[in-house]
């Protein structure tokens, strides 16, 4: 194995591919930790890290002391335990991500856009609308609003550029933190044309504000997914909070 990537990532990637290919179906048990350690020539600690990564992505259960069970469901599971671009997340599941920019429009920031981007109302921004695909099938319409310095970079990209975030990284624009709000939205005429649904159909909506390492907002986005194509997972624990520190208190 190459030393360019941590060993656990290679193990996790191989297992993700096997799960996506149907080698381990819904409800199937993965091999025991010691079996996986022997198979890949790594320590059990490395295997545990790989399994923890799969758990964070919602692919397997996480019962301690038991072999991990593969979770079912047709929707691709996306975890909020790690901030990853759509393209990187898709590839981690063995899917081929795609994208097509439908519109790039200079505009004046609305009150909502200005609030989330921490700009004066009416400031110049760029609005970008894209349709995103998984293995060729449309699953999401992405509406992003960028401050001018970021929007100009996006406007110069090819319309079929798969990963805007990767190209922005090359220009020093980093997405390091994000706040997500998940609810239900309804398809407008553009959504219907791009996703093949009907106007008014319910869509899974994710609204997201992304910031750079300095805490400066670099994107305000609203993504609308076809139901059944993607599901979001969140892992919570009381260990790091007040409840975990004060066991027995109500």
Q: What is the DSSP string of 19-76?
A: HHTTSS-TTPBPPPHHHHHHHHT--HHHHHHHHHHHHHTTSB---TTS--BB---SSE
Question: What are the pLDDT digits (tens) for 33-79?
Answer: 899 999 999 999 999 888 888 877 667 776 555 678 776 554 555 65
pLDDT band for position 108 (50/70/90)?
very high
Of the two residues 233 and 187, the one the predictor is more confident about is 187
Q: Average pLDDT, stretch 129-134? A: 94
Q: Average pLDDT, stretch 117-146? A: 95
Q: Is the pLDDT of residue 2 over 50?
A: no
Q: Output the pLDDT for position 3.
A: 47
Of the two residues 245 and 137, the one the predictor is more confident about is 137
What percentage of the chain reaches a pLDDT higher than 70?
79
Minimum mean pLDDT among 62-66, 86-90, 203-207, 246-250: which range?
246-250
Angle at 180 between CA 124 and CA 81, to 5 degrees: 130
Q: Average pLDDT, stretch 92-97? A: 76
CB 96 within 8 A of CB 134: yes
Mean pLDDT of the residues in the chain: 84
Q: Average pLDDT, stretch 217-223? A: 97
pLDDT band for position 1 (50/70/90)?
very low
pTM metric for this prediction = 0.68
Of the two residues 1 and 156, the one the predictor is more confident about is 156
Instruction: To the nearest 10°, report the CA torsion of 199, 189, 228, 82.
Output: -140
Q: Average pLDDT, stretch 173-186? A: 93
Buried b (16+ CB within 10 A) or exposed e, 193-211: ebbebeeeeebbebbbbbb
Q: Output the pLDDT for position 132.
A: 94
In angstroms, rounded to a whole number, what is the distance separating the alpha carbons of residues 175 and 191?
Answer: 26
Q: Is the pLDDT of residue 147 over 90?
A: yes
Q: Is the pLDDT of residue 236 over 90?
A: no
Q: Output the pLDDT for position 26.
A: 66
CB 186 within 8 A of CB 202: yes
Q: Average pLDDT, stretch 146-152? A: 97
């Amino acid at each position: 194995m190459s030393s360019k990537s941590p060993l656990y990532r290679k193990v996790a990637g191989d297992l993700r591919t096997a799960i996506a290919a149907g080698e381990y179906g819904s409800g199937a048990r993965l091999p025991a930790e010691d079996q996986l350690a022997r198979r890949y020539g790594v320590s059990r600690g490395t295997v545990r890290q790989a399994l923890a990564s799969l758990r964070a992505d919602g692919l397997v259960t996480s019962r301690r002391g038991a072999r991990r069970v593969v979770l079912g469901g047709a929707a691709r599971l996306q975890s909020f335990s790690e901030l990853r671009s759509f393209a990187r997340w898709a590839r981690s599941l063995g899917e081929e991500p795609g994208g097509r920019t439908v519109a790039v429009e200079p505009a004046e920031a609305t009150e909502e856009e200005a609030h989330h981007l921490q700009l004066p109302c009416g400031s110049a921004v760029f609005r970008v609308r894209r349709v995103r695909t998984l293995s060729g099938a449309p699953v999401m319409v992405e509406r992003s609003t960028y401050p001018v310095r970021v929007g100009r970079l996006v406007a110069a990209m090819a319309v079929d550029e798969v990963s805007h975030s990767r190209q922005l990284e090359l220009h020093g624009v980093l997405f390091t933190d994000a706040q997500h709000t998940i609810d239900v939205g309804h398809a407008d005429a553009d959504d219907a044309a791009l996703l093949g649904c009907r106007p008014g159909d319910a869509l899974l909506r994710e609204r997201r504000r992304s910031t750079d390492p300095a805490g400066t907002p670099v994107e305000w986005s609203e993504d609308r997914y076809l139901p059944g194509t993607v599901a979001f997972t969140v892992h919570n624990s009381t260990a790091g909070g007040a409840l975990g520190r004060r066991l027995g208190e109500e």
